[in-house]
Structure 1
Amino acid sequence: MAVRSRRWCLRYGWAGWSCWGWLRRCRGGKPRTTRAVLAPSRPSRNREGRSFFALETMFYHTVGKYVNSHYELRYCRNIMASPQTGIEWTDRTWNPTTGCNKVSPGCQFCYAESVAHRFTNHFPTGFEFKVRRERLNQPKSWRAPSRIFVDSMSDLFHESMPLDYLQEIFEVMRECPRHVFQILTKREKRLAELAPRLTWPENVWLGVSVENQKYTRRIDVLREVPAHVRFLSCEPLLGPLDLDLTGIQWVITGGESGRKHRPIEEQWVLDIREQCREAGVAFFHKQWGGITPKSRGRLVEGQTYDEMPLAWAEHQARFMPTLSRGQKSG
C-alpha cells in the first residue's frame, strides 16, 4: 500500500494534504501508512473516542467532494481558456469550439479526447463537436499581448464548423492585433476549401500536423494559404520525415506522452533539425515524451531549442518592446 498521505494528496490536491494533517491530529498524531483509504482493518480512535474511520468517511462525503469538484472545474477552465498553459510554444489557449474526431494516426491517443472523457460534467455529450459561442470574445478581455493557441480542444477546420461562425472567429482575431493566434489543423481538404473565403490578418499563424511521411501532403495545401506565418507541428512524431520547407517559417517536433505512448527516435529529430538549418527555418523541440510530457525532458544533444519565427520578434518589438530582448528567432 502507498503512504496514505500521498494518496490523499493525489485525490484531493493540497487541500487533501492539509486535511490529512488535521485527521492525523484528531487521532493523536500517530501515522498509519499501510491500511487502505476509507477501509481500515481495525478502526482506530482519537482522544475523544471517535472512530477515525468515521472521520475519514465524514471528510469524503463533505469536504472531499467539494474539493474534487473545485479542482475539476479549475482544471477544465484552464484547458478551455488559460492564462497559463503547459504547451511550451504558446502562452494561452482559446477554445471557441470543442470536440473532434480522429482523422490520422497522430489522433490515436488524443489528449483532448481523454480530458473530455475524464470530465464528463463539462462534456456531457462526450467529445462531439460543439460550438462554444460564450467563449467567442474571450481574447478581447486579455490585455497582455500573448501567443494564443486556437482550439487546443478541437480543430478550427472541422467538417462541422459553420462557415459564418468561423468568419466570426477570424474577425475577433483581427480585432485583437496585440495577440498572435496560432491555428493548427489536420484537415487540409477543409482548409483548402475555406481558406479563400477567409480574411487572414497578419497576427494569424497557421500550421498543419505532420506525424509521418504520408501526411507531408498537408504541407502543399498549407503553402497555398496566405497566412503571415506557416508552421509544421511534427508531434507526435511517429517516423522519419523528408520535408520540403519552401514557404515554411517554423517547425515544432515532439514525442508522444501517456501510458500508451509510441516512442520517438532521436535521429528523427536530429534529421529535422538539420533540414531546418539548411532551409533557414526556426526549429522548436517541445518534448521527448514518455509516460508524462516531462518524462524525458526537452534537451537535444544537451541544448534546448526554443526558436521562434522572425515574425514573433517583430511582434514583440511592436507590442511589448520591453520583453523582446533575448528572444531567439529563426
Structure 2
Amino acid sequence: MGEITAISWCDHTFNPVIGCMKVSPACDGCYAEALMDKRYGRVEWGAPGHGPGTRVRTSAGNWHQPIKWNKKALAEGTRPFVFCASLADVFDNQWDLEWRADLFDLIRATPNLVWLLLTKRPQNIVKMSEACGGLPSNAAIGTTVEDQARAINLFHLASAARDLAPAFTFASFEPLLGPVDPTRIVIHEGPARFDDWPEVTTGIVSFNALLGAPSINLPPLGWAITGGETDQGEHRARPTHPMWFRRLRDQCASAGIPYHHKQNGEWARHEVKSNGSLTGQVVVWPNARTDVRNANDGGGPGVDMDKVGKRRAGRLLDGVEHNARPQVAA
C-alpha cells in the first residue's frame, strides 16, 4: 500500500489508519469512502446524522514500509514526499490516542522522508501534535480549501505553523468547488485580511481596525495545490471554472509560492469540432452542457463546460503543466 502512487504531488502514500467522517462539501465525493466503505467494506464512513463511523489501524507490515523508503532515500540522497493518510485524517479526533503517537514516532524515525499531513481539521493540529511530544521537524502540515467559506482553514493552518514550526505549510484547493481568494478571510472576530499572498509576502493577518484588535504575525503559505473533482461511486463530479484555477495560479506566481496543478477533473471547457459537432456528448450531469457563469460570486466570465472525463480533461492549465514543489534539502 503506497509504494507506487498516481498522485502527482507526492512520491509515496502511507495509510496508518483507514476511516474518517465527512465534514465539508469537499467530502461529498470522497474517493476513500467509495473505495474502503462502498467497495471493500473495510470501514463504515462517518457523516452528519449517521455517526462518526469506524476506524481501523493498518498492518504492522504496512507500517514498516516507510522504514524501507527512508533507507532508500538515504542511499540516494533524496527527500521523497510521503502523503500520509489518504484514506483517513491524521487530526481526526476519533483516532485512538496511541495511533497518532506511534505515527509521529515513525515520522521522527524516518528523517529522510518529508511527510505531508493534510487535514480538513486544521484547528486540531496544535493540541494533537503537542499531545504526541510535538510536531516532527520533517512533517509538513496542510489543509483543504474547496471554497471561500473554507478559506478560514488557512488561518488555522498559519496559526498552527506559528506554534509548531513545520517543514512547510501547504493548501490543497482540491476539489475546487468555488472561487477562493486567500487574501481575504473572515474569522469569528470580524473581517480580516490574510496578507500571505500579495507580492510582498508579509505573513500578517490585519483585523478590522474598528475592532481595536492587534495584528497577528503568521508565517506565509509554503505551497499550493489545485485540482478539479472526479466521479467517485455514485457521486458525480462538479465542474470547476477555469478562472478559479487561474486566479490561484497567478496569486502564487506573484507571491513566489510553489504551485502544483494536479488535474482539471472530469470537466473541460466546451469546444466545437471542426466539422461543427459538439464535444462531450456523453455528458449526463447535470445537463449536456453546464454554464458556470454565475456558479459563485466572483466566478469570472461565463464559460460552458463539458464533462469529458478525467483522462481527456488532463492536467494542463492554459497549455502548461504545473509541477512545482517546495525545495527541501537532502
Q: Tell me, yes or no, whether TM beats 0.5.
A: yes
Is 1:130 matched up with 2:56?
yes
Three-state SS of the structure 2 residue aligned to 1:181 is strand
Answer whether contact 1:287 1:294 (CA < 8 A) is retained: no
The CA deviation at 1:249 is 0.7
Which residue of 204, 222, 242 corresponds with 1:266? 242
Q: Note the alpha carbon deviations across 1:209-244, whole angstroms, 9 max, x for none.
A: 000011111111111222111000000000111114
Answer whether contact 2:14 2:85 (CA < 8 A) is retained: yes
Q: Cα gap change, 1:204/1:292 in structure 2, threshold over 3 Å: closer, same or farther?
A: farther
Which residue of 306, 309, 318 corresponds with 2:326? 309
Identity over aligned pairs, percent: 31
In structure 2, give the amino acid aligned to 1:111: Y
TM-score (norm 2): 0.66
Which residue of 143, 148, 151 corresponds with 1:216? 151
Q: Note the alpha carbon deviations across 1:257-303, whole angstroms, 9 max, x for none.
A: 11600000110011001111121110100000006543301111111
| 1:270-309 matches, cutoff 5 A | 270-290=246-266, 292-309=309-326
Q: Cα gap change, 1:103/1:297 in structure 2, threshold over 3 Å: closer, same or farther?
A: same
Unaligned runs of 5+ residues in structure 1 are 1-80, 319-330
The CA deviation at 1:190 is 2.1
Answer whether contact 1:289 1:295 (CA < 8 A) is retained: no
Is 1:229 matched up with 2:164?
no
Q: For 2:105 and 2:309, how far apart are their aligned partners in 1?
A: 37
Q: Cα gap change, 1:106/1:125 in structure 2, threshold over 3 Å: closer, same or farther?
A: closer
Q: Point out 4+ residue stretches in structure 1 off by more than 4 angstroms.
A: 124-127
Q: For 1:111 and 1:165, how far apart are their aligned partners in 2?
A: 23
RMSD: 1.9
Q: For 1:173 and 1:211, how far apart are their aligned partners in 2?
A: 28
TM-score (norm 1): 0.66
In structure 1, give the amino acid aligned to 2:321: T
Q: Identify the residue that residue 189 of structure 1 maps to in structure 2.
A: 123
- Structure ranking higher on relative contact order (CA contacts 8 Å, 6+ apart): 2
What is the aligned length? Answer: 232
Q: For 1:297 and 1:153, how far apart are their aligned partners in 2?
A: 24
More helix by share: 1
Q: Identify the residue that residue 269 of structure 2 maps to in structure 1.
A: none
In structure 2, give the amino acid aligned to 1:95: N
Is 1:87 matched up with 2:60?
no
In structure 2, give the amino acid aligned to 1:186: K
Q: Identify the residue that residue 25 of structure 2 maps to in structure 1.
A: 105
Q: Cα gap change, 1:192/1:124 in structure 2, threshold over 3 Å: closer, same or farther?
A: closer
Q: Cα gap change, 1:124/1:186 in structure 2, threshold over 3 Å: closer, same or farther?
A: closer
